[in-house]
Amino acid sequence: DSGVTQTPKHLITATGQRVTLRCSPRSGDLSVYWYQQSLDQGLQFLIQYYNGEERAKGNILERFSAQQFPDLHSELNLSSLELGDSALYFCASSYGPSSYSYEQYFGPGTRLTVT
Amino acid sequence: DQQVKQNSPSLSVQEGRISILNCDYTNSMFDYFLWYKKYPAEGPTFLISISSIKDKNEDGRFTVFLNKSAKHLSLHIVPSQPGDSAVYFCAADSNFGNEKLTFGTGTRLTIIP
């Protein structure tokens, strides 16, 4: 158990809908990262927050947005969903701001299926 | 543009033998490399890492080798055990510019008892 929790575990929704994925980091960690893993793909970095502020951005679509709240939990919002958004979404947390210097601990993921 | 490549989607190895997982990268700015292990229904967990100033790092049964000139790294597991059956992801990072982990597509390792 990494100490990172993600809810829900599974989500099935229809095209055009909007969903929110939630992540609670390990106690004491200030950074939250979001990754998308599509079928037979590696994990693709989406976005990172550190202590409530956006710190780094990857290939995140404009239909997707995220935020980190004062209690450090984070939410990833996916809107106008398309079939291609079906994937595993992982959240990871670390203590510091840099992916280079601080180990990331991953949650179990949320499996999103868009029908 | 796949900057980190794991060309073998799967690998089967007899228990007790050596498992060798390979990873290639194209971005010469990468200077820190990591291996993650993933079991079904769980998130990836960090296994071992190596900085570009080294060419080898060992941790118990796990050794990572880095060949910078070939832009290639490998993970050796010896001896392989049934609990090593998992998907292994190679990842790379850079201390320059946009720090973020770039992952390969993973290799599914199956250890045959």
Residue B13 exposure: Cα atoms within 13 Å on the Cβ side: 23
> What would the pLDDT profile of A8-28 be if each residue is shown by its tens digit?
999 999 999 999 999 999 999
Residue A48 exposure: Cα atoms within 13 Å on the Cβ side: 24
The percent of residues in chain B predicted with pLDDT above 70, rounded, is: 96
Residue of A nearest to B89 (CA): A42
Side chain identity at B51, as an amino acid letter?
S
CB–CB contact B4 A99 (8 Å) = no
Question: What span, in angstroms and rounded, lies between the C-alpha atoms of A88 and B44?
Answer: 12
> What would the pLDDT profile of A28-76 be if each residue is shown by its tens digit?
999 999 999 998 788 999 999 999 999 999 989 999 999 999 999 999 9
Q: Is the pLDDT of residue B98 over 80?
A: no
Q: Is the pLDDT of residue B74 over 90?
A: yes
Residue A42: predicted pLDDT: 86
Give mean pLDDT, residues A88-95.
97
CB pairs under 8 A between A and B: 59
Q: Is the pLDDT of residue B80 over 90?
A: yes
* A23-to-A4, A105, B63 alpha-carbon distances in Å: 7, 12, 32
Asked if A105 and A96 count as a contact pair (C-beta separation under 8 A), the reply is no
What's the pLDDT band for A99 if we cut at 50, 70, 90? confident
Which of A22-26, A94-98, B37-41, B107-111 bottoms out in mean pLDDT, i.e. has the lowest?
A: A94-98
Nearest-neighbour CA in chain A from B15: distance (Å)? 26
Q: What is the mean pLDDT of chain B?
A: 94
A102 CB near a chain B CB, below 8 Å?
Answer: no
What's the pLDDT band for B97 if we cut at 50, 70, 90? low
Nearest-neighbour CA in chain B from A48: distance (Å)? 9
Residue A12 exposure: Cα atoms within 13 Å on the Cβ side: 1
Give the pair of three-digit tokens for residue A1: 């158990």
- Selected residue of A43, A47, A48 to mutate for chain B interface (largest B Cβ count, 10 A): A43
Nearest-neighbour CA in chain B from A77: distance (Å)? 20
